[in-house]
Amino acid sequence: MKEKTIALAGNPNVGKSTVFNALTGMRQHTGNWPGKTVTNAVGHTTYKNVTFELVDLPGAYSLDSSSPDEKVTGSYIRSKKADIVLIVADATCLMRNLILVRDILDITSDAVLCVNLMDEAEKKGIRVDVEKLSRLLGIPVVAAAARSGEGMKDILETLYSATLRESRPHRRVSLPSAEDIYSHCVSLTKDEPHSFDRKLDRIVTSRSLGFPIMFLLLLLIFWLTMAGANYPSAALSSLFSFLGEHIREVLDELSVPAVLISVLMDGLYTTLTWVISVMLPPMAIFFPLFTLLEDFGYLPRIAFNLDHAFRCCGAHGKQSLTMCMGFGCNACGVTGCRIIESPRERLIAVLTNSFVPCNGRFPALIAIILIFFVPGASYMSSLAAGAILAFFIVFSIFITLIISRILSATVLKGVPSSFVLELPPYRKPKIISIIVRSMLDRTVFVLGRAVMISAPFGVVIWLLANIETGDMSLLDRCTEALDPFGRLIGVDGVIVMAFILGFPANEIVIPVMLMCYMSAGTLTDYSGLAELHEILSSCGWSLQTAMSVVILCLFHFPCGTTCLTVKKETGSLKWTALAFFLPTVTGVSICFIMNMLWMLLS
């Protein structure tokens, strides 16, 4: 059986990775914004008697560029490692795509052009004559609509036919200009095929409406995430409680020692199930909603709106995208920083991603706001709680910008790099694909890391709560030792210890607090906000305490999953340590200043 290497090349946002997935069956994440494919992905497919190895190269506008992604693409194509280059172009904006086609044909004639998104072009009144295009370019041209799978068999047949021809020495051929090729091959049935996109852009990217629309959309996502996660979280908690009882009975029947049962069930099992029941529902809602905006084409507009603010701070406009991803999960936000080409600006985005709250911090934030800031269950109190949460979110973005500015003026000094941001056409999202993709690529991935880190810490928490020295447990002694420091920043030793033990996952901070306050030997749940209010108030909590805890929820060290991700992305313990201490020092400093002001005023 023959083996041939196929390199996939194309501009950003032309559906190249969608073609790659359709041909190989791999579930590589695809997105409707530039720079999504930032590393090579390799997949395999077999057609007739040929096995094709497909290499998905980073998106490029040309092969003569200083961009790291475009350098990778240019170097690979010039190396002639690929037997055939499969060029993917966007039928809705073919003229711009032909620049890269000409660059590649200057290097090799062993190429096939896939004109993708033909279905969208037809809706916009754009018709592409692929036969005439093939004659002018001198290479095979295939029409396709990869999102619906149209044209994939034709691509394989064309690639197979190309492998049957003997490769000839490349001779540079004088091609017509891109303008001439376009005018001969493309016809329009509408006067302005992109009129809808431009009308909508005049609204969502305007100076007067751009920011309010952006804020309301993100707020809607947060509200749907919070409101929709309550019921599945409660259902999962009940299910795990039911299963836990039966597992405990089985262990008893197997004569497992009581101490070991307690370690496994009260430590390991309780921690894992708490993390899953609290993390899974919000992520399962947030990531599809976020991906919906991504598929629709709105995320590049967010980068466009926020570009000026981040550039003023010496950072990159694309940091706005990675910051938004951090609201779902800081680990995913850190991974998303790969879309930033400049190493300096990418590092700024990595180090500041944890300054925005992830979904693991929202349960504690919401509970504290509802208990101490707007108690009650009326419609107005819900609106007030939403407004307060929105204020804290805006505050976290403001601090992100300030820290980015400090970093760019000190340890990561440099001039902001300019970048070309393509605003892709708006597209009708594919709901089923979004749900499956976001669950597999993001939710399951992040949850798996959180579970891996939480498991050993569940045992550690149990040991601290159950091993006694004298008349106190190790946990009690730790909280007592941390109490003086806690009082300086407006909290107590229990709260400080809860955040420290919450390192594996932010979701367990409140349960650890309750375990310490109630002197329980295992993580403690609460039946409702009223009971939680009563417990915390009886333990000395006030409005000042609640405010300090909110600040610490917003600004404290990243969870273990995020720290592992920072280490993987930067390859440096130094930068991982800085990512750990930056938000921690920021949160502690703000709490200390607030506490001093509170004492002066009172």
pLDDT at 168: 58
| Alpha-carbon span 368 to 466, nearest angstrom | 28
| pLDDT value of position 146 | 84
Could you tell me if 407 and 181 are in contact, meaning their C-beta atoms sit under 8 angstroms apart? no
84: which strand partners?
6
- Give CA–CA dist 424/301, Å, rounded: 9
The per-residue pLDDT for 172 is: 57
Helix/strand/coil (H/E/C) assignment for every residue in 297-334? CCHHHHHHHHHHHHHHCCCCCCHHHHHHHHHHCHHHHH
Q: How many CB atoms lie within 10 A of CB 171?
A: 6
- What local confidence, expressed as pLDDT, does residue 406 receive? 94
Residue ranges for the chain with pLDDT beneath 70:
1, 26-40, 65-69, 166-174, 222, 226-227, 230, 278-279, 375-383, 416-422, 437, 440-442, 445-447, 449-450, 453-454, 518-529
Please compute Rg for the chain using Cα positions.
28
**Residue labelled with tokens 């036969």:** 131
Dist CA 298 CA 427 (whole Å) = 10
| The pLDDT of residue 34 | 44
Show the tokens assigned to 315: 């950072």
Q: What does the alpha-carbon distance between residue 529 and residue 481 come to, in Å, rounded to a whole number?
A: 29
Count CB neighbours of 275 within 10 A. Answer: 24
> Would you put residue 276 in left (φ > 0), alpha (ψ -120 to 50) or beta?
alpha
Residue 32 DSSP code: S
468: phi then psi, degrees, rounded to nearest 5: -105, 145
E strands of 430-509, at which residues? Answer: 468-469, 472-473
